[in-house]
Amino acid sequence: MKSILVAALVCTAAAYADVNVYTVNASQIVTGTNQGVSWSYVVANQNNTLPSQFENSTLSSVWHDQLPLIYLGNWMFYRPAWYNGNNWAPQWSVLLQQPYPAERDVPTQTSVSGNVSTYYSNQYVVRSAVRFPNPSDVQAEVANGTAHADMNYRVMVTNTSGQTADYFISLPTPKLTRKYTEPFSYNNGAYAYPNYGSAASMSSFEIYVDGLPVFSQNSMLEHPKSSADAHVKLETSFGPNAIPNPTVLIYLGKMAANATFTVDMVVRAEATAAASCGTSFMSSFGQEYITKNCLDLTETAPIPVANSSIALKVFAMQAVQ
């Protein structure tokens, strides 16, 4: 149902001709009625906002699970103490609550045995991170293992203007990105790409109002376990990822005086792989150097930010026709 709802929104989006504004009319989902709005009027006057009361909360969580693979290390599982599952963090406040930066990783290790030194092309076996405010993003990176990173940001809004008003959400469009480097071997001037077990990753940016999806952007990759070729991968994406740097403007509908609703921004990145490494050899003055060229899969979902704060704006207007 969620995918159908959001797909319907995207199909009817961008009705306003301004190339710098990507518009979504979510009034049918939020209020149950399809309400019209003058996008040009809103764009020109969105800074003239009505009073509302806000409460804010954030929750950042990261965890990783390193698969047992001898040359990449031993089994390791970690879930930080502040990971709160499906519950929201308890720091409700009228003060702005910014995301909590967090990172957990398992780095690769250089080893030396006699005159042989072994290095890895990857800095990490597995890594998950919520970074804020500079840079501001959610990342999951794997060579072999599983990584999850999530940032949840909630705003509770109350219409305190004393009369019905049209409510909107405005934010810059996030650009989901992916780094994907296949494992390879290099010997005597020739490259070889050994097939590996499997890999999959996903990044997403979503906006919910009272738990209902009003905006969604997703990007996914899969290298199936059944693939016979290391180069085989399926990549899919959904949402306005290709639009050049617009502002997303979401119409929520008319909210009566004293109406209260919640806006949730959910940013997540996930990656998993059961992969092997190729090798490269080099020798110099009696020393031998081995480089393990491993799968490098990194999903990055940006957190919209302006002046070191979350760049999500909820505003209201009256007499929008």
Residue with the two structure tokens 């005597």? 188
What pLDDT score does 18 carry? 62
Q: What is the pTM of this model?
A: 0.82
How many other β-carbons are positioned within 10 Å of the β-carbon of residue 215? 24
Q: At 58, list the tokens.
A: 């954030």
What pLDDT score does 111 carry? 92
What pLDDT score does 319 carry? 61
pLDDT digits (tens, 9 = 90+) for 120-135: 999 999 999 999 889 9
**CA atoms of 34 and 252, how far apart (whole Å):** 10
**CA atoms of 308 and 291, how far apart (whole Å):** 39
Which residues in the chain land under pLDDT 50? 1-12, 15, 17, 67-96
Nearest to 299 by CA among 211, 218, 244: 218
**CA atoms of 166 and 207, how far apart (whole Å):** 18
What pLDDT score does 318 carry? 80
**CA atoms of 7 and 21, how far apart (whole Å):** 19
What pLDDT score does 64 carry? 63
Share of the chain above pLDDT 90, in %: 34
Show Cβ contacts of residue 21 under 8 Å, excluding neighbours closer than 6 positions: 39, 43, 246, 247, 248, 249
Question: Would you list the domain boundaries of the chain?
Answer: 2-317
- Please spell the DSSP secondary structure of 35-91, one letter per residue: ----HHHHHHHTTSPPPEEEEEEEEEEEEEEE--BGGGB--EEE--TT--TTSPPS-
pLDDT digits (tens, 9 = 90+) for 162-190: 889 999 999 988 889 999 999 999 888 89
pLDDT digits (tens, 9 = 90+) for 10-44: 434 554 546 678 899 999 999 999 999 989 889 88
